[in-house]
Structure 1
Amino acid sequence: MTWETSAADLAARVTHRSSRWRAPVARTPRHVFVPAWWEADGGRWELHDPVNEDHWYPAAYADRSLVTRVGALHADRAKPDDRPAGRPTSSATLPSLVVAMFQHARIDDGDELLDVGTGSGYGTAVATHRLGDEAVTSIDVDPYLVDAARDRLAIAGLHPTVEAVDGTGPLPVKAGKFDRIVATVAVRTVPVGWLTALCTGGRLVTTIAGTSLILTAEKRADGAAVGRVEWDRAGFMPVRHGAEYPVGAGGLLAAAHEIDGEDVTTSPYPVVDVANAWDLDSMLGITAPGIEHAYLDEGYRRTAVMAHADGSWARATSVGGEAPTVHQGGPRRLWDILDELRAYWLQHGELPARGARVLITPEGETRLARGKWRAVL
């Protein structure tokens, strides 16, 4: 088994045979960019540090994301008995999604690309094979990731510009430098620095944090950008500004499985696994961002729990075919917000966020509209 054969097989799985991305994927040694990774096993993170190609290549050349950092601990700096706690904070994105994001950008020969979220460097490598060293700039907030990616890109014979930069702030590039910006981290609103760095007529692609919504937009001469929320779906880790994400609502989420609510009601709608109901989850992420979820299906009993860092929480439990009993507490009634969205869905036949028109003001405010529905991020 050679990496070239594995990469060619991967390219055949994730691209059409006439795609201009097939050759870049086939030429990129993905194993170089993921020398080790984390996998969740029974609620704990286990290190995978392959000792030979038979263990390495099947994972490295699968169309799957590989978590390379949990909390502040990079997999390639970890020891076998390390058990990091916290959320994944970096990964090697699954190759089909890397290709899809580049395709949404409509990249042409000669374009200059800003790749936001270097991560493992794999996506940067694919883009550099497509466009060349001089045309690709990649940034990440994590200095270690940047240094490691730069070294691994060099092993692959690639030398794009790779810098440690907080992508949500001002970018150290001249205004209007880039024809395309593709972010493989999610943002709530489009940073002003991206609009400044994008040339007039240039196109950006990103995802809205807390949702599966892909946003594409093209910059106008007045500094604003207009576009749409694509019908496609993608999920990326939210952008971070330091070593780890802020403390969330994990403690409250765990406690909410047992505590009694300030309000106890019944819901007209079934218990739902919100995190895996992508359109519903995305609408909730637009309407009430930052909610964390848990779901337990015991066959005869289903329980969904929601919690927010502001102290709001909800738990809905249904037994058999009975209407769910809902406990809620804190400053907001989270399950009521969810049920309002489900009522809208039944009344209108669909949820409006996917397919919405997008206007990004020069100040970075993102406005969504579809029919009579409006949202401002």
Structure 2
Amino acid sequence: MDWETHARRLAADVVRPESRWYEPLATTPRHVFVPRWWARDDQGWELRDGLTDPEAWMQTAYADRTLVTRIGSAHADHADPGATIAMGKPTSSSTLPGLVVTMYRHAMIADDSRVLVTTGTGYGTALLCRRLGDERLTSVDIDPHLVKVAGERLDSIGLHPHTAVVDITGDLPGAYDRIVSTVSVRPVPASWLAALRPGGRLVTTLAGTGLIVTADKTEDGGAVGRVEPDAAGFMRTRHGDDYERPTDELWERVKRADGEHASTSRYPLLYVPDSWEVMSMLELLVPGIDHRMAVDGDERTVWMLHPDGSWARATAAGFLDSPTVHQGGPRRLWDELERIRHRLNREGGLPVYGARVRITPDGTLTLRRGGWSVTVD
């Protein structure tokens, strides 16, 4: 297979030829790290096997897109040929190469940096090995299978970074100049600050948001930085085979229920994850909301569900129609959303992107922009 031609095309799509990331992208065989993956269709998730269609494999593996490799506890490596999954959330993937490079650029990695990264399929680890040399790199994941297989695939192309099975929210196996996490966290683990060398930098995203946080370690053991202007979303850290869904029972109870409070919204229906700014602001203020949506012809319904029992359901017959909203539980989730939309409408933007960041040694993070601030712990 002429994978090199595809890799060079991918590199040209992602960066300019003079970029230090061009050669890593052009010389790393991404298909080695993603021989099988899950593809989404109207019926759920369908297994794709590269060996059964090599040309489609090359086109898919060398596109600047994320490839999902695990749904719930079902890893594509272990699935039966032709397998499908009706429902489930992605729990591991090969992140789109352009975003991997963006995270590395935000880390401002020097030639002599010692770097800790998250493993996933191992492709992002391979890119950094090509850039720095594998002796400067540590790659960790909570999933023993991912670490084992990624290590084998890295070995097969001549790369031998240090790998370890580690819960990245706990103690880390060494000291580093850079920590780059392609899983999202909340809060920033205090162990990252302990593992960063003086002046070291961390790069991550905040769970449930589209916010990339960069922060440099300070003399007091904390860190200061900012929310970068570009958006990104990564899977949350997990501590088992799958993510818990604490709102499933609530959703079944309120799917069609009348709320304690009913109203008509002044704004068109919004499915919150479709708006990076709104989603990020809402998650900072009311963390943990589960957003769901259903479409029936021209009618759309969205749900907001919280583990504390709060919920909202909004239904609109058309895209420009004002939705009817039902709410229940201890908090009015739709009212929280409306306040954010009022601010966006009034000011033309929200203060989340570009906010300054301060992290205390125990991991408490404060975002501040102008007169607005929020603490994330």
Q: TM-score, normalised by structure 1?
A: 0.95
Identity of aligned residues (%): 54
Q: Distance in 2 between matches of 1:322 and 1:124?
A: 47
Q: Distance in 2 between matches of 1:61 and 1:217?
A: 31
**Hey, what does 1:22 align to over in structure 2?**
22
**Hey, what does 1:215 align to over in structure 2?**
213
Unaligned runs of 5+ in 2: none
1:31 lines up with 2:21 in the alignment: no
351-360 or 317-326: bigger deviation: 317-326
1:13 lines up with 2:8 in the alignment: no
Q: Report 1:3-152 matches (<5 A).
A: 3-50=3-50, 51-84=52-85, 85-115=87-117, 117-152=118-153
**Hey, what does 1:233 align to over in structure 2?**
231
Q: What one-letter code is carried by the residue in structure 2 that aligns with 1:336?
A: D
Measured after TM superposition, the shift of residue 318 of structure 1 is 2.9
Q: What one-letter code is carried by the residue in structure 2 that aligns with 1:343?
A: H
Q: Report 1:357-376 matches (<5 A).
A: 357-376=356-375
Measured after TM superposition, the shift of residue 20 of structure 1 is 0.3
Q: Report 1:150-299 matches (<5 A).
A: 150-173=151-174, 177-253=175-251, 256-296=254-294
Q: What one-letter code is carried by the residue in structure 1 that aligns with 2:234?
A: F
Contact 1:253/1:306, CA 8 A, preserved across alignment: no
Measured after TM superposition, the shift of residue 301 of structure 1 is 3.7
Q: Distance in 2 between matches of 1:227 and 1:334?
A: 31
Measured after TM superposition, the shift of residue 251 of structure 1 is 4.6
Measured after TM superposition, the shift of residue 309 of structure 1 is 2.2
338-347 or 86-95: bigger deviation: 338-347
Q: What one-letter code is carried by the residue in structure 2 that aligns with 1:5?
A: T
What secondary structure sits across from 2:339 in the alignment? helix
Measured after TM superposition, the shift of residue 324 of structure 1 is 2.4
Deviations along 1:92-116, one digit per CA (max 9) or x if unpaired, are 000000111101111111111110x
What secondary structure sits across from 2:111 in the alignment? coil
Measured after TM superposition, the shift of residue 61 of structure 1 is 0.7
Q: Distance in 2 between matches of 1:318 and 1:244?
A: 33
Q: What is the CA RMSD across the aligned residues, in angstroms?
A: 1.6
What secondary structure sits across from 2:152 in the alignment? helix
Q: Distance in 2 between matches of 1:68 and 1:319?
A: 36
Q: What one-letter code is carried by the residue in structure 1 that aligns with 2:14?
A: V
What secondary structure sits across from 1:185 in the alignment? coil
Q: Distance in 2 between matches of 1:323 and 1:33?
A: 46
Q: Distance in 1 between matches of 2:299 and 2:314?
A: 10
Unaligned runs of 5+ in 1: none
Aligned positions, number: 373
Q: Distance in 2 between matches of 1:203 and 1:171?
A: 15
Q: Distance in 2 between matches of 1:232 and 1:242?
A: 30
Measured after TM superposition, the shift of residue 294 of structure 1 is 2.5
